[in-house]
Copies of this chain bind each other. A is one copy, B any other.
C-alpha cells in the first residue's frame, strides 16, 4: 500500500469504522454506501469524504463499498495486519480484567508476558501468560522483541516505569494509569485511556438533558 499522510482526526475515527463494519459484516451485509456510513455512524458528509479519500477511491458510484474490502483496507491502514508484541505491567484488578476479557488478537497484539511485584503471583500464569517480577523487565525487553507496554500499575509508579521500559527499547505505551508520563523517552508513542475524559463528556450530556 502506498504510504499516505493521514491526519490524527481521521486515524482516531478509523477504529469506529472497523467496529461498525464488523457489526454489519456479521449481520451479512455485503455493500454499504457512503450516505449510509454517514447516517449510521453519525459522521458529517465532510468527515466521510475526508475519510474515504484516505481509503482510496475504490467505491463505485451508486453501488457503494464492498464491506469486507473496506474493512480490510482500513485494517491495513491501522497496521492490524502486522502483529505487535506487548507486555502488561501490573496484574491488579484492571490488568487481570484486560488479561481475562480483552481480545488482544482482534487488534493484532500478541501479549507475551506480564510483570508484577506481588510474590503471590510472580512465577505463575494469568490467562495463560507467564508473570515475571518487575525487577526483571529490562532484561526481558532486551532479550525479546517488545513493541508495546500496557501500564495497569498504580499511578504513583507509572512515570518511573514508563521511563524504564522506553529506555529498555519499548516503542509504544498503552497507558491506563490516569497519569501523564513525561519521563517516557523522546520518540516513544503514548496512547492514553483516560477514563475521566469519557466520564466528563457523559457529565456534559447528562447536564444538557436536564436543561
Residues of A within 8 A of B (CB): 3, 11-12, 14-16, 18-19, 23, 77-80, 82, 84, 92-94, 96-98, 100-104, 106-109, 147-148, 154, 171-172, 174, 178, 180, 187, 189, 191-209, 211
Contacts and interface: CB of A to CB of B under 8 A. Distances in A.
Given A107-B196, A191-B198, A196-B106, A206 B79 contact: yes
Give the oligomeric copy count. Answer: 2
Contacts of A189: 202, 205-206, 209
Given A191-B205, A206-B84, A207-B82, A198 B171 contact: no
Contacts of A187: 209
Nearest to A102: B195
Contacts of A12: 197, 201
Contact of A97 (B92, B103, B107): B92
Contacts of A204: 11, 14, 77-79
Contacts of A98: 195
A109 B207 CA distance: 12
Contact of A101 (B94, B194, B200, B201): B94
